[in-house]
Structure 1
Amino acid sequence: MELSPFLQDLSRQPIIQRLLIIAAYALLAKAVDIFVNRILKRLAAAYTTSELDDKVISILHTPIVFSVFFFGVFHAVTMEPVLAQPWEKFVPALAQSVALIVWTLAALRLFMVVGEHYLKSIAGRGKIGADLFLLLKNVVRVIVIVSALIWLLSIWNVNLAPLFASAGIAGIAVALAAKDSLANFFGGISIFADKTFKVGDYIIIDDAQRGEVVEIGVRSTRIMTRDDVLITIPNSILANSKIINESAPIPRFRIRVPVGVAYGSDLEQVEAVLLAVAAENPAVVKDPEARVRLRGFGSSSVDFELLCWVAEPRFKGLEIHNLLKGIYAAFAAHAIAIPFPQQDVHIKELPERAEKERSPGG
């Protein structure tokens, strides 16, 4: 059945053609909406156990549907013949701006959801402090918003040269005023990027301070010494310091127990007793096995060293204490002498006796 001349003429009108294109894209957007709701979400729920993918699909659902529709609007308004001024530039720019705003909001929500999903696991493993992670999240949010704003201004053909010039001057002023804070911030970033240490590790700073890392903050890192003293160190200083991480690459830590026995002791027996003391200590790990090394002959003793491993560096002091007590008791039970420094003084002659012998009456 042919259309009437009126409908044929009406279908040739540019406005009607544009409306038909928009309607076609609207139907396509509805089809995408149905696909996401009835198929994609069900597949995600059926084949994955994490809730993250469900949240991601929900966040991206609306932007994808709107993008299909706005692409149709952009297609319709840019087709021949072009719209009259100012609609020729205003309507496409408006469509692009709305799409940009929708995707920017979606990107911010997506980053928030992903960040909150991984924040607990990252902080729980001690890879990075919660406040530093939140700061990074805010920095990324600012970057996304500023980038979207610049893109939006470029859509409307706004001259960005004065804006960039002002931003450069302001950036220089801020950098000079807050150079210490920026140095500490980037020091924290370098600590995180290099994975020098994490929360819970035992570190030694410049061969001086030793303690457990309790927090990696925005400006500083805090360590707790074995004297229960909390030390706060700016990240800029820490990033340029010599760090010995006793907990890396594995938390197992070797301890050394020097022992001296008297000359004449049965060296094989001494070695067997030291290994037995290490084996009886429940805090000493079995793999790798403890070992004994003869280190030298001292002025008063034969010097041995017991080498064994504990599960974590935090047990270093306590287990050296326990091993020394056990060695002392075991040596006493096996009659192994522990010498102490001593000196023998030999007197060739007494001064009074020599004087008497030289005197005439002597």
Structure 2
Amino acid sequence: MDIEEKQRITPEEALKEYKKQAKGSLKIFLGYAPGVGKTFTMLTEANRRFERGKDVVIGYFESHERENTIKQLNNLPMVPLKEITYNSIPLKEMDVDAIIQRKPELVLVDELAHTNVPGSKNKKRYEDVLEIINAGINVYSTVNLQHLESLNDIVKQITGIGVNETIPDNIIAEAEVVVIDMPPEALRKRLQRGNIYKPYLIESALKNFFRAGNLSALRELTLRQIADEVDEDLEEYKNKHDIHDNWYTSEKIMVSISSNPKSKRLIRFGARLAKTYKCPWYVVYVKCTHFMSPKETPEIIKGLNSNIELSEKLNGTVIELEGTSVSKALLKFAHEKHITKLVIGHPKRTRLQRLFRGSTTNKFIEQSTDIQIIVVPYDSL
């Protein structure tokens, strides 16, 4: 098979690529609370594109009577809303068909998690957006993290407030996301100045959703969520380009344990490291199948289970591996998970085992060039 044949794609791949190119793109301005500036930033960016001659329209806009946001409308054209009568009350929603017929290059759709009035074309606004994107139109939209379906319970636990309007996680995962950030205290001051809610709502908001602790937790949750999304994108890129080196974009810690009771010190040390770096950490043990390895006994199993129990209590992710070489099993896992720090105890092998099998620690050091290895001698534990 020559190079040209290798590079030729299948009809199925060609169709998939065509559909991808024919679809519009979605850009989401994400915040951790109302008032951080999502709509303001979206309008500012849209105005820049409009001034460069791009065909930009507003499909739906919610001002919340915020003066600074309203000023950002400038000369952006708006697609008239569609009137829908519900329970004898005339209400207005975004006109999806009119937008698709107008076919602008970019449409702005505020409040992605909104539930449409009964009688609308779609039940949820994100469904409207998906239809618009499938018609080849690019979309800018806004949403707060508490509307993400997978985080619904966590947000309720933090704030004590249930969120009924949610969007599927894959909407965020497949979009370009811009995080609109602001320190919690600055956001509370913005609220106190009347820049977010009407004066009669301010005091109640400060004591409830806008408590400093709530905002700090939601902000961290937002940044972590996006960090995870970025991590997945980076992983996909590295796999696609066959890149196996660690790029140290974030810390990932692995603690290697055994049934030895002194492994508990390693586990606690790893937990403290993970807390310091606010990063994921794994507790890994290898079930060695080499004929010279000690055979499992009730005492060994009991010791291992005790160490696993402590690891889970400290929120470590426990992983069991198997192989004839402990160092090779650890190294393979470390490369798969892009581990940056390994915490390991000094191996307690007999002289005969060291003679024939060498040192696990030394092997790991020799074979790994991009992982920081923290060796803690068992005698010092």
The TM-score normalised by the length of structure 2 is 0.22
Q: Which has the larger radius of gyration?
A: 1
Instruction: Choose between structure 1 and 2 for higher RCO, CA contacts under 8 A separated by at least 6 residues.
Output: 2
The TM-score normalised by the length of structure 1 is 0.23
> Greater helix share, 1 or 2?
1
